[in-house]
Amino acid sequence: MQTQPSTTDTPSPGAAYTPTDRTIPTRSRERASYDRESVHAILDEAYVCHLGFVRDGAPVVLPTLYGRVSDRLYVHGSTGSRPLRMAGASATEQDPGLPVCLTVTHVDGLVLARSAFHHSINYRSVVVHGTAHQVTDPEEKRLALDALVDHVVPGRAADSRPADAKELAATAVLRLDLNEVSAKARTGGPNDEPEDMDLPHWAGVVPLRKGHDALIPADDLAPGIEVPAYLAGL
């Protein structure tokens, strides 16, 4: 998929994102990464992001679906939803958009230590800071909606009815450029204190994994419709 170039500077393919004051962690800095491919891999594997913004002086965080096209993220919702109403129609001086913080996290394992203090999780996460803007160009909007559908199941956008004019009018899309971005991850076992090593408590990692169960067809699925290859491959 392709989209129009961003009006802001974005990294060239293969480049790393530039650290900023907002993307440098205050703790465990050695776990942070700004590698573009690593960031994209974490984003592409997850289904749900959390979108944070400020409304009437108070923080709001919403879980929502998203899709990535190159160095842009797209988030969709109803035209009446809070962040979409607040984001405005375009990135102009009169309409500066909505400052947001978007996060994605994978939990890969439960880390059980001998002491309660050192219990942890193994994880991979991405944090994106920036200003979100509503997508108003019809072509970019359709591209964004296809990316959202394909993010859930690759290949699904081409195997479903596209949104009609009424559905497009009821759907708003936010665009967030990937400029201020960082990834952070923890791997490995517990970090117990030396004096705790002989305690009689089990320590180690409980690995977690994501998977798919057998498909459940709709009760009203028309006879003769076979499972498409992109679903069978799950």
13 in a domain, yes or no?
Answer: no
3 in a domain, yes or no?
Answer: no
Report the alpha-carbon angle 227-228-229, nearest 5.
120
Run of H or E residues at 37: helix 36-45
Specify the higher pLDDT residue, 226 or 12.
Answer: 226
Question: 46-56 as b/e, with b when 16 or more CB fall inside 10 Å?
Answer: beebebbbeee
pTM, 2 dp = 0.85
138 in a domain, yes or no?
Answer: yes
Cα four-point dihedral sign 36, 47, 125, 77 = positive
What's the number of domains the chain is made of? 1
131 in a domain, yes or no?
Answer: yes
Q: What is the pLDDT of residue 182?
A: 96
118 in a domain, yes or no?
Answer: yes
Range of the domain at 114: 29-232
Q: What is the pLDDT of residue 56?
A: 87
Neighbours of 157 (CB within 10 A): 20
The answer to whether residue 101 scores a pLDDT higher than 50 is: yes
Mean pLDDT of the chain: 88
pLDDT bucket at 63, cuts 50 / 70 / 90: very high
The predicted-structure confidence for 200-220, as pLDDT tens digits, reads as follows 999 999 999 989 999 999 999
2 in a domain, yes or no?
Answer: no
pLDDT bucket at 113, cuts 50 / 70 / 90: very high
Distance CA 153, CA 94 (A): 38
What CATH number is associated with residue 50? 2.30.110.10
16 in a domain, yes or no?
Answer: no
* Residue 59 φ/ψ, nearest 5 degrees: -75, 145
The predicted-structure confidence for 122-161, as pLDDT tens digits, reads as follows 999 999 999 999 998 989 999 999 999 999 999 999 999 9
148 in a domain, yes or no?
Answer: yes
The answer to whether residue 87 scores a pLDDT higher than 60 is: yes
